[in-house]
Amino acid sequence: MADPKTPYVGRAMKRIEDPRLIKGIGTYVDDLRLPGLVHAAILRSPHAHARIRRIDTAAARALPGVIGVFTGADVNAACGLVPCAASIPDLKAPKHTVLAGDRVYFVGHPVAIAVASDPYAARDAVEAIDVDYDPLPVVANAEAAVKPGSPLTHPDLGTNVAYTHAVAGGSSIDEAFRSADRVITHRLYHQRLTPMPIEPRGVVASFHQGEGTLTIWSSTQIPHLLRTLLPGMIGVAENKLRIVAPEVGGGFGAKLNVYAEEALIAHLAMRLQRPVKWIESRRENAAVTIHGRDQVGEYEIAVRNDGQILGIRTRTIADLGSYLQLLTPAIPTLTGLVLTGCYRIPAVKIEIVGVYTHKMATDAYRGAGRPEATYLIERLMDVVANELGIDRLEIRLKHFPQPSEFPFATSCGLTYDSGNYQGALAKAKQLANWDQLVKDRDAARAAGKLSGIGVSTYVEICAMGPSKAMPAGGWEWGCVRMEISGKVTAITGVSPHGQGQETTFAQIVADRIGVPIEDVVVLHGDTNVAHYGRDTYGSRGTAVGGTAIVMCIDKIIAKAKTLAAHLFETTSDHVEFGNGVFTAPGVTNREIAWAELAGEAYVAKNLPAGLEPGLEASSFFEPQNFTFPFGTHIVAVAVDRDTGQVKITKYVAVDDCGPLINPLIVEGQIQGGIAHSIGQVLFEKTVYDENGQLLTGEFMDYALPRATDIPEYVLGHTVTPTSVNPLGIKGVGEAGTIGATPAIANAVLDALAPLGVTHLDLPMTPERVWHAMKTTTAATTA
Amino acid sequence: MYPANFDYKRPATVDEAIALLAQHGDAAKVLAGGHSLIPAMKLRLAQPKVVVDIGRIEALSYVREARGAIAIGAMTTHHEIESSAVLQARSPLLAETASHIGDPQVRNKGTIGGSLAHADPAADYPAAILALEAEIDLAGPRGRRTVKASDFFVDLLQTALEPNEIIVEIRVPATGKSVAYEKTEQKASGFALAGAAAVVSAEGIRVGITGVAAKAYRASAVEQALAGQRRPTPQAIALAASHAADGVEPLVDIHASAEFRAHLAEVNTRRAIERALARG
């Protein structure tokens, strides 16, 4: 029985799921061993753009152990097109077949697939396939791609522009610019990034000939969306399709997708009547699992000399890559949704141009649009403050809405649920010991060192989301069952893969039902168990999925009260429930615990008339709005004058995600998010050369942050509940990455400000920093 | 990733290894700690028909004093070098350099002989090996021979090793404490964008540089600028270090321009000399 004085919710508990993961006894896709399993390997294009003249698979098919070799001509008609769920008006989209047709459009484009008795033989077969390519002109740069005369990514589309999306909000943007004292312009580039989850993708598919059912195990964030979308591709009815996301080793948005391989492996399992496994290599993961970001824009801000921002106008070019994956064209439009950040900015006008290039598709990557927007607005706040000589905290405070003004409608068209931006900023200043930090920086500067402080105050969009604002269904489903033994099984439609909901949901269930947490099991990730769901992305799991669980608990308790009243021989309005025990004060001294009540419910010999047996409930929760977590990050850095290397000397983050269910998990999410930002600001970048060749296809060339890059974090919280869900919680999965990128960038630029450096592109590598120092120093001395 | 099919041979002695290499010729590749060959095989960039694993020849794993020098068996791991009491006391530069290689897993498996034979232009050891004027013993079908460090590195991934030869021993002289290795890491791989090893001795200051050019080199112009100066001033060191990339053609890739590599050579040369002198 839980001690009522110390509820599980709010406790920094270690994660229930961790021991099996740490001990290596979790089951990932590649751990599956099915009888008769065969292995697939994929031949991928070495060219960014080429015509396929001929594919000869004869030698490959003749190799020992090879079961089959298939090209686009063999499978495309049976597999349907890889889907894009984003609805953008006038979107020009290429046909995205699972294997290449007569052309390849990016390095890594799948051309043929070999199936063999073991993975070595499958690779041997791939090597033995002979393809005759005729290389064609390559579009490798999105800005160049929109200029007249550029080669075309998809010649049949007649243009490289997939769409132009314009949004204007608030008051008149023209009037804002007419009445401005000055207009500040700035160009900002958000580099392409590779998500690099620790586990690459993998698919196993098995067709049961007798039942006509197909089971697909995939390292995915979205088993339910796959179950919705794959039937249209492979011709298996939804109710004959079971998708399992077993242990999933990270996703960061990269596994929020329907990939060609999922349909292809499923098709081959049916065609060959054997279970088929495909495991993505690390090199494939770097090349053919979606990339993130890759936006460049010109930003104009209309300001008054007193620092009042009147309007922002932008034109952003988003590099979509060569194909549309599930949400590819929608991600850049999310940037436009929170471009005004946590500020009152009366007028905005945003034009986003989505452009095709011969690269891997971009799509949702941790933060998906919000990191881009936050980086833009937070860099711009510093640019404006510096240009006008206004303190950068002051200019932020000047544009914050007051806590009493929430719900706060922004000129981007959103309504922020709740907020106290001043409170988070004040707490971060206090935790950072701001005045001392500034003194230390100034002392370091006086001693000839390069020292800087950066700030960002952010707001983001979580708990996705209201169905009317989502591509299709933003609700979440849950089911809770009080078993006959008194144990509790909670089933969720979200698909955690690192977020820790086996623990946080158990905390919620244990508290609300009043059982020890050890008696609660949380199930997820298998569409035959969690029948419905909308899965995990957009920091929605706990705020939306957790709420569905709470609704189930409420239903079970209501039903249990009816049954308890019957056993007490009274009416349910006399029954009280607390701490796992039903009582009827004033009626009887008898107490009924869950175990007894559950026994009655399932044995069902003494039920009130009309009451169904059992104690189980399921619910769909439809949120009425997004939630809008916020916070302040403060960073101090030291820059090595000789080498340009940046060292983070202090990191303070105050995040407000509403009430904390498990502070340990919240802090883990924030720490991981900040680590992503450290990588993005200081060294991570996905690089293609002018021929569309990927130069960062492995860890020898793609620099991920390591433990030694991570500073000691000082993490704090303010708690401003939302009214969007009964838990009051907002979501925290992406906040770190959204708040941190501009804070670190602002700190580096503050450190370089005494040298006259006002801008650096991301990532701010040692060479870029060194070059900027050298250039400005040369200019100053000249 | 799955390598192509290959035969695996594990000789117990150097003679057996040489015989296997002679037997299989170009079809064979030597496996030591495996940190270069195995990734290349997994990517199928290397597809040897025969892998000759010399990593378990116990007679090639040692660190011992021998006639005023310290002799190191070719199959001694980076970790063994890093933690060798003999090296730390008698020739600390090599131990310090080994501590900069990769991560603990790499240092537990990778060997000095494997690293030198692969001759990656950004490997750490070559800077120290050159600055120490080490000697490298090679064994082949025609017996053993000794090659000076300055003659060993020929070009990008090319050494003085003849086909069918393997490295058996590396000898470094005893030095004082006045040695140092300074390195700027390539952020992704941890290899050197520029690494400089400095040895201060009664005869002068010697500097070896890795990561900057197609092969590691002695920074002769730096050494000459400091010739005859027992305790050079910081200004003299800085001036000398500005010649760290004289006469070399720096590498260019996505991680650094030629200009930045040359600059880092200068910075690390200066820092290595300063730190080596400070230890004396």
User: What tens digit of pLDDT does each residue of A55-107 get?
Assistant: 999 999 999 999 999 999 999 999 999 999 998 999 999 999 999 999 999 99
pLDDT of residue A778 exceeding 90, the answer is no
Q: Are A504 and A610 found together in one domain?
A: yes
What distance in Å separates residue B52's CA from the closest CA in chain A? Answer: 21
Query: CATH top-level class for B179-279?
Result: alpha beta
Q: Are A442 and A474 found together in one domain?
A: no
Task: State the CB neighbour count (10 A cutoff) for residue B214.
Answer: 17
pLDDT of residue A767 exceeding 90, the answer is yes
Name the pLDDT band for A5 (thresholds 50, 70, 90). Answer: low
CATH of B7-53, one of 1.20.140.70, 1.10.4190.10, 3.30.43.10, 3.90.550.10: 3.30.43.10
Q: CB distance B267–A119 less than 8 Å? A: no
| A771 interfaces chain B, CB cutoff of 8 Å | yes
- Tokens 């501009």 -> residue: A742
Instruction: Say if A638 falls within a structural domain.
Output: yes
Domain boundary among A598, A621, A644: A621
Chain A residues within an 8 Å CB radius of B255: 701
- What confidence tens digit (pLDDT) does each residue in A639-697 have? 999 999 999 999 999 999 999 999 999 999 999 999 999 999 999 999 999 999 999 99
| A511 token code pair | 């508290």
Instruction: Say if A9 falls within a structural domain.
Output: no
Instruction: Say if A2 falls within a structural domain.
Output: no
A58, A200, B29 from B5: Cα distances, Å: 20, 24, 13
Q: What is the mean pLDDT of chain A?
A: 96
Name the pLDDT band for B126 (thresholds 50, 70, 90). Answer: very high
Please give the share of chain B, as a percent, with pLDDT higher than 90.
97
pLDDT at A3: 53
Q: Are A665 and A549 found together in one domain?
A: no
Residues 6+ apart with CB under 8 A from B215: B119, B121, B126, B153, B154, B155, B156, B158
3-state secondary structure A190-248: EEEECCCCCCCCEEEEEEECCCCEEEEEECCCCHHHHHHHCHHHHCCCHHHEEEECCCC
| A775 interfaces chain B, CB cutoff of 8 Å | no
Concatenate the DSSP letters of all residues of A41-105 into one string: EEEE-SSSSEEEEEEE-HHHHTSTTEEEEEEHHHHHHHH-PPP-----TT-------SS--SEE-
| A205 token code pair | 């598919």
Domain boundary among A564, A599, A621: A621
Q: CB distance B2–A283 less than 8 Å? A: no
- What confidence tens digit (pLDDT) does each residue in A434-490 have? 999 999 999 999 999 999 999 999 999 999 989 999 888 999 999 999 999 999 999
Q: How far is CA A75 from the centre of its chain?
A: 31
pLDDT at A781: 56
Residues 6+ apart with CB under 8 A from A140: A48, A357, A358, A359, A688, A689, A690, A691, A692
Q: Tell me phi and psi for residue B220, to 5 degrees.
A: -60, -40
pLDDT of residue A4 exceeding 60, the answer is no
pLDDT at B68: 86
Q: CB distance B1–A704 less than 8 Å? A: no
Chain B residues within an 8 Å CB radius of A281: 1
- What confidence tens digit (pLDDT) does each residue in A391-424 have? 999 999 999 999 999 999 999 999 999 999 999 9
Q: How far is CA A447 from the centre of its chain?
A: 43
| B40 interfaces chain A, CB cutoff of 8 Å | no
A124 vs A207: CA distance, rounded Å: 26
B130 vs B223: CA distance, rounded Å: 13
Please give the share of chain A, as a percent, with pLDDT higher than 70.
99
| B184 interfaces chain A, CB cutoff of 8 Å | yes
As a whole number, mean pLDDT of residues A576-604 equals 96
| A7 interfaces chain B, CB cutoff of 8 Å | no
Give the N- to C-terminal CA distance of chain A in Å, as an integer. 77
| B244 interfaces chain A, CB cutoff of 8 Å | no
Q: Are A554 and A685 found together in one domain?
A: no
| A518 token code pair | 């050890």
pLDDT of residue A501 exceeding 90, the answer is yes
As a whole number, mean pLDDT of residues A109-136 equals 98
Encoded amino acid at A628, one letter? F
Q: CB distance B44–A127 less than 8 Å? A: yes
pLDDT of residue A176 exceeding 50, the answer is yes
pLDDT of residue A378 exceeding 60, the answer is yes
Domain with CATH 3.30.465.10 in chain B: 59-173
pLDDT of residue A706 exceeding 50, the answer is yes
Q: Are A88 and A228 found together in one domain?
A: yes
Instruction: Say if A570 falls within a structural domain.
Output: yes
Q: Are A491 and A450 found together in one domain?
A: no
| B4 interfaces chain A, CB cutoff of 8 Å | yes
Q: Are A736 and A697 found together in one domain?
A: yes
Q: CB distance A687–B188 less than 8 Å? A: no
As a whole number, mean pLDDT of residues A284-292 equals 98
Domain with CATH 3.30.390.50 in chain B: 179-279
Name the pLDDT band for A283 (thresholds 50, 70, 90). Answer: very high
Taking each helix axis from N to C end, the angle separating A72-79 and A260-272, rounded to the nearest 10 degrees, works out to 100
Q: Say if residues A700 and B42 touch (Cβ distance below 8 Å).
A: no
Instruction: Say if A309 falls within a structural domain.
Output: no
| A690 interfaces chain B, CB cutoff of 8 Å | no
Q: Are A506 and A579 found together in one domain?
A: yes
Q: Are A512 and A438 found together in one domain?
A: no
Tell me, what's the ipTM? Answer: 0.95
Q: Are A576 and A699 found together in one domain?
A: no
- What confidence tens digit (pLDDT) does each residue in A323-354 have? 999 999 999 999 989 999 999 999 999 999 99
Chain A residues within an 8 Å CB radius of B1: 123, 281-283
Candidates A385, A387, A381, A376; CA nearest to A421 is A381
Q: Are A757 and A639 found together in one domain?
A: yes
As a whole number, mean pLDDT of residues B154-167 equals 95
Chain B residues within an 8 Å CB radius of A119: 2
A769, B133, B197 from B242: Cα distances, Å: 20, 22, 15
Domain hosting A559: range is: 18-23+466-621
pLDDT of residue B67 exceeding 90, the answer is no
pLDDT of residue A243 exceeding 50, the answer is yes
Q: Are A646 and A597 found together in one domain?
A: no
Chain B residues within an 8 Å CB radius of A704: 188
Nearest to A703 among B2, B188, B267 (CB): B188
B62 vs B254: CA distance, rounded Å: 38
B75 vs B133: CA distance, rounded Å: 20
Nearest residue in chain B measured CA to CA from A701:
B188
Chain B residues within an 8 Å CB radius of A767: 256-257, 260
A155, A359, A456, B104 from A150: Cα distances, Å: 11, 16, 38, 49
Name the pLDDT band for B276 (thresholds 50, 70, 90). Answer: very high
- What confidence tens digit (pLDDT) does each residue in A624-651 have? 999 999 999 999 999 999 999 999 999 9
Domain boundary among A558, A593, A621: A621
Task: State the CB neighbour count (10 A cutoff) for residue A505.
Answer: 31
| A283 interfaces chain B, CB cutoff of 8 Å | yes
**CATH code at position A594:** 3.30.365.10
If one counts the domains in chain A, the total is 3
Candidates A524, A505, A480, A522; CA nearest to A220 is A524
Instruction: Say if A480 falls within a structural domain.
Output: yes
Q: CB distance B5–A120 less than 8 Å? A: yes
| B8 interfaces chain A, CB cutoff of 8 Å | no
Instruction: Say if A93 falls within a structural domain.
Output: yes
Torsion sign over Cα A723, A726, A728, A731 = negative
CATH of B59-173, one of 3.30.465.10, 3.90.180.10, 3.40.50.300, 3.30.950.10: 3.30.465.10
